[in-house]
Amino acid sequence: MKHIPVLAEDFRRFCESMPEPPAAYLDCTFGRGGHFRILIEDINTNMQADLIDRDLQAIEFGKKEFADLVERGQCRFHHLNFMRLADEASKELAEKKFDLILADLGVSSPQLDQAERGFSFYQEGPLDMRMDASKGIKAADVVNQWDAQEMIELFRDYGEIHNPTKVVNAIITERHNQNIETTTELAELIAKCIGWRKKGQHPATKYFLALRIFVNEELSLLQQSVVDLIARLKENGRLIMITFHSAEDRIVKWTFKEHKEQGQILTKKAVQATWQEKQKNPRARSAIMRVFEKGKL
């Protein structure tokens, strides 16, 4: 499936209303470059851009798709985790300041579509879920090795599932027979255990979300990384955060509030997709955008 950028019109509005078109842009989650394309084609064709993704496939796609910009030295791709910028980025990138920063968290449509990445509960693939397939533990390690209490806490805290005990017990029983190795094995086990409750939402949705967030350290590093990104803004620079999970959104909201003395929050109310956008792009259903503008330095 082609990746459609979420909240694209809102993104455009916040870019167009900047006092000056952004000259230096940091995209923390390049994906398929949907948001970047809006900027470079419609807002400032001369912009300088640093484009990050922890998924090597996204980086390879970007280098091909925007080969002319790379050649001209107008954009640079970086394969790293933006939440670990300070450790993983070159000194130059780690110290650079930007007029506009975007972090659009979550998975891209191509990641969901590739069964072998292990994000999808509809397509059979190894239970992996790592965005950077070369690092860290996999979802299968959690499901097959953790004890019951650890799994209950994970599903409660990261999946916001009120009572995951029944599913966790089913996982433990199943793995006594054999390890749970594939996405569909786990999805079917969960569906059998709790049944379909919401039309159109697979019963495994929140369990998969919790595993993905944990495996990719998406929540644990988020707060510090929002602080770091605010620090990287130039005067009047804007940080646009798009999250897909209420726990992530709460972190963004509170971190922005805690740093209000450094600027202002431009989204008094979080921006969410219109009904029309949600119809066109199901990924937009849970997207939440918040924008912070840096004040005088």
Ligand X SMILES: C[S@@+](CC[C@H](N)C(=O)[O-])C[C@H]1O[C@@H](n2cnc3c(N)ncnc32)[C@H](O)[C@@H]1O
**Footprint of ligand X (CB under 6 A):** 3, 5, 28-29, 31-35, 52-55, 58, 81-83, 104-106, 108, 131
Look up tokens 């503008």; give the residue.
Answer: 293
Return the beta strands (E) in the chain as ranges. 24-27, 48-53, 75-79, 98-104, 233-243, 263-265, 271-272, 288-294
Tell me, what amino acid is at 256? F
Give the DSSP letter of residue 242. Answer: E
Is the CB of 58 or the CB of 233 nearer to ligand X?
58
Shortest CB 92 distance to ligand X, Å: 18
Shortest CB 188 distance to ligand X, Å: 26
Shortest CB 85 distance to ligand X, Å: 9
Is the CB of 83 or the CB of 161 nearer to ligand X?
83
Shortest CB 115 distance to ligand X, Å: 17
Is the CB of 144 or the CB of 224 nearer to ligand X?
224
Is the CB of 105 or the CB of 187 nearer to ligand X?
105
How many CB atoms are located within 10 Å of the residue 22 CB? Answer: 22
3-class SS at 94?
Answer: helix
Angle between helices 148-159 and 205-215 in degrees, nearest 10: 100
24, 99 Cβ separation under 8 angstroms: yes
Shortest CB 130 distance to ligand X, Å: 10
Q: Which residues contact 177 (CB under 8 A, 6 or more apart)?
A: none
Shortest CB 226 distance to ligand X, Å: 12
Is the CB of 190 or the CB of 242 nearer to ligand X?
242
Shortest CB 206 distance to ligand X, Å: 18
Pairing of strands 271-272, 288-294: antiparallel
Is the CB of 11 or the CB of 203 nearer to ligand X?
11
Shortest CB 106 distance to ligand X, Å: 4
Q: Give the up-direction half-sphere exposure of residue 150: CA atoms within 13 A in the CB hemisphere.
A: 10
Is the CB of 84 or the CB of 156 nearer to ligand X?
84
Q: Quote the Cα angle for 142-144-150, to 5°.
A: 50
Q: Residue 285: left (phi > 0), alpha (psi -120 to 50), or beta? A: alpha
Is the CB of 185 or the CB of 217 nearer to ligand X?
217
Beta bridge partners of 292: 239, 265
60, 36 Cβ separation under 8 angstroms: no
